[in-house]
Amino acid sequence: MNYLLLGGARSGKSSYAERLAKELGGRVLFVATAEAGDEEMRRRIEKHKKGRPAGWKTLEASLDVAACLPGPAVQADVVILDCITLLMNNILCRQMAGGEAELDAERVEKEANLEIDALIECMKKSQASFIIVSNEVGCGLVPADAMSRLYRDMLGRANQTLAAFADYVYLMVAGIPLPLKPQAGA
């Protein structure tokens, strides 16, 4: 079974992912996509690490997640990937760090699509249940600049692709999981 947990910042996505992993049982692999770019983020990452059960394995993969997963995923019953939001950010930042004068939106979107497609192929081949965490960023205002719009679009497409593949999709609101897929009565 594969799950997608969507929601805003501090909506309870990660906490619910961890509870769900405990309920599913077995060996858990936590895949972290965050990069510690500053001291505050380092503290957040360390706090998250300390909060996980001692028996869980952690894999840090800020890019090319599917390429990092085959070996570790084989040894897991449940894989939590937290989160797609930062993975898309890392793809965008990698292109910006390339020193190019102008952002190549088409290339960045292609990289993002390839990353998500590779992840889904990895999930199809794995016996593990996957719990994917991502932010829902399409409910607000249209961003004022091109880079922010590109990021919102990349993440929105990634979420749509993952939601189509997932067996279960939940929207987290104030710590409450609202089922979107399968729909009640469907």
Torsion of CA 157, 163, 169, 170, to 10 degrees: 0
Q: Is 48 a catalytic residue?
A: yes
Torsion of CA 48, 154, 172, 40, to 10 degrees: 30
Q: How far apart (Å, rounded) are the C-alpha atoms in residues 139 and 121? A: 29
Q: How far apart (Å, rounded) are the C-alpha atoms in residues 4 and 20? A: 11
**Are 118 and 153 within 8 A, CB to CB?**
no
Tell me whether residue 43 is exposed, middle or buried, using C-beta atoms within 10 angstroms of its C-beta: 0 to 12, 13 to 18, 19 or more.
exposed
In 3-state terms the chain splits into helix, strand, coil percentages (rounded to 5) of 45, 20, 30
Q: How far apart (Å, rounded) are the C-alpha atoms in residues 73 and 59? A: 10
Q: Which of 36, 48, 58, 72 is catalytic?
A: 48
What phi and psi values does residue 76 have, to the nearest 5 degrees?
-125, 150
Catalytically active residues, by annotation: 48
